[in-house]
């Protein structure tokens, strides 16, 4: 029967169906009230309330050198030498909405574009490089310390507009590099305030296409090192791509170079084959080795594998540790004594005084949601007090402060989208670049460029408690 038919007789208060329907109406009203309270709670979070306090405790590993001895590192907030430490997990919000978060930092909207790189310059401005977008869209944006956003067509346009500030340095990894003469490099080209000097253009052999990255690092001798890729035509796609690093003189002439192996896992996780780190000009990272500059001289990561472990062949992230030491994050395989199965793990390997110092991160909360132990570290950054932020390929993040860990995921933060880059400012604010825009974190408060996710008004638990089925 059509419920809109005027001939349809509606039940009266004396009707046998009236009482249950009244209960349902009352229950629905209760659900609506509970939902409105949830909205108020989300509003309070947006005004700056932190997520619930951490509660879970997890063991943390000590740092050891490759021989298994405890490693002494007196850097600020460095991992330390204790054999047993505590890690702390940030819990999900009760009846959690879909990761509500404050929308803004500086009182303005954060970039919503898909972000490939981000970095923070000496003035505190935050730089963003966006993933390929439509023609005419800006490729670079800068948020200054006052929160003003300035867009640039590309990196060269940004350097030209800001050359007077950039020429004094320091370099900003993944964006530009400054040589001793004050020239600012973007890829294999330098700008002296008047014109660009182009290096040898991309070439390659017959049937090959050689292209250079816009990223660059300048070593202490003034040589600019630029990642390159060569593509050719062949049946096996993986064999048709070659990666490496090439040096250029101040005049733009090509110098030494080195080819770099690229395991397929790098492409699977959208990782750079050649990795740069803020504040490090005498080394670059690669999947199987660190290359010390000038040179380049390889130092292989295999030495960082501990007893019963082998390096699976790739370092996935590179950061500057306290005291400016290079630190890499490796995927390792463990074969238990007498066992035939292989367990996957993650190790931080720091190059310190001619040796690798390792920290086992496998037991950290970063990988709690990774039951198959296949996630890798995709980005890492240290804060001004030595706190360590790690981002994983499963979209999770972890913060280590002293001996304690905090764990963030889609249940207790606006995280969840694939993370491409992270950086920490002098004010300790974390910046997270994802394929779905920007996230920031400071003193327990998250901000997000995405739409605010309020609680569902009629979440199943609310309806059940209100008596509505």
Please report which confidence band the pLDDT of residue 388 belongs to, taking 50, 70 and 90 as the band edges. very high
Instruction: Dump pLDDT digits (tens) for 131-143.
Output: 876 777 889 999 9
Instruction: Determine the Cα–Cα distance for residues 279 and 122; give it in Å rounded to an integer.
Output: 11
Average pLDDT, stretch 375-382?
Answer: 94
Instruction: Determine the Cα–Cα distance for residues 255 and 275; give it in Å rounded to an integer.
Output: 20
- The DSSP secondary-structure symbol of 434 reads E
The pLDDT assigned to 202 comes to 54
Tell me if 248 sits within 8 A of 223, measured CB to CB.
yes
**Domain ranges (residues) in the chain:** 18-465
Instruction: Dump pLDDT digits (tens) for 185-240.
Output: 999 999 999 999 988 755 555 557 888 999 999 998 899 999 999 887 665 555 57
Give the predicted TM-score (pTM) of the model.
0.76
The continuous run of DSSP H or E covering 35 comes out as helix 18-46
85-89/377-382 β-pairing: unpaired
Domain 18-465 has CATH 2.130.10.10: yes
The pLDDT assigned to 417 comes to 94
**Residue 33 CB partners (closer than 8 Å, separation 6+):** none
Instruction: Determine the Cα–Cα distance for residues 287 and 334; give it in Å rounded to an integer.
Output: 19
């Amino acid at each position: 029967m059509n419920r809109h038919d005027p001939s349809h007789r509606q039940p009266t208060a004396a009707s046998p169906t009236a009482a249950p329907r009244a209960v349902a109406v009352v229950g629905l009203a209760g659900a609506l009230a509970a939902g409105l309270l949830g909205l108020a709670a989300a509003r309070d979070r947006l005004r700056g309330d932190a997520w619930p306090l951490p509660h879970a405790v997890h063991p943390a590993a000590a740092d050891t050198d490759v021989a298994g001895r405890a490693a002494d590192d007196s850097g600020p907030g460095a991992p330390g030498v204790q054999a047993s430490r505590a890690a702390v997990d940030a819990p999900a919000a009760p009846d959690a909405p879909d990761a509500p978060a404050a929308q803004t930092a500086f009182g303005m909207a954060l970039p919503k574009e898909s972000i490939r790189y981000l970095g923070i310059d000496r003035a505190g401005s935050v730089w963003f490089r966006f993933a390929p977008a439509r023609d005419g869209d800006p490729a670079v944006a800068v948020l200054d310390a006052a929160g003003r956003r300035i867009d640039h067509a590309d990196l060269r346009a940004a350097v030209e507009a800001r050359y007077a500030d950039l020429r004094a340095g320091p370099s900003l990894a993944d964006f530009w590099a400054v040589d001793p003469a004050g020239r600012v490099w973007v890829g294999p080209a330098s700008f002296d305030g008047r014109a660009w000097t182009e290096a040898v253009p991309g070439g390659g052999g017959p049937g090959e296409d050689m292209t250079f990255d816009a990223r660059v690092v300048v070593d202490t001798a003034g040589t600019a090192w630029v990642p390159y890729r060569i593509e050719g035509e062949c049946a096996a796609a993986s064999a048709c791509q070659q990666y490496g690093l090439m040096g250029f003189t101040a005049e733009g002439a090509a110098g030494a170079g080195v080819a770099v192996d690229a395991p397929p896992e790098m492409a699977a996780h959208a990782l750079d084959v050649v990795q740069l780190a803020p504040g490090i000009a005498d080394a670059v990272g690669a999947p199987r080795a660190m290359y010390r500059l000038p040179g380049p001289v390889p130092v292989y990561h295999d030495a960082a594998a501990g007893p019963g472990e082998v390096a699976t062949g790739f370092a996935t992230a590179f950061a500057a540790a306290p005291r400016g030491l290079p630190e890499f994050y490796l995927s390792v395989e463990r074969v238990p004594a007498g066992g035939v199965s292989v367990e996957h793990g993650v190790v931080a390997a720091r190059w310190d005084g001619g040796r690798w110092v390792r920290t086992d991160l496998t037991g950290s909360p970063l990988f709690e949601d990774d039951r198959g132990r296949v996630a890798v570290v995709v980005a890492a950054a240290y804060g001004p007090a030595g706190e360590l932020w790690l981002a994983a390929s499963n979209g999770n993040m972890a913060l280590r402060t002293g001996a304690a860990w905090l764990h963030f995921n889609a249940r207790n933060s606006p995280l969840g989208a694939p993370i491409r880059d992270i950086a920490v400012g002098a004010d300790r604010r974390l910046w997270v670049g994802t394929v779905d825009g920007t996230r920031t974190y400071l003193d327990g408060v998250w901000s997000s460029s995405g739409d605010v996710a309020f609680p569902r008004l009629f979440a199943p638990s609310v309806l059940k408690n209100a008596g509505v089925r």
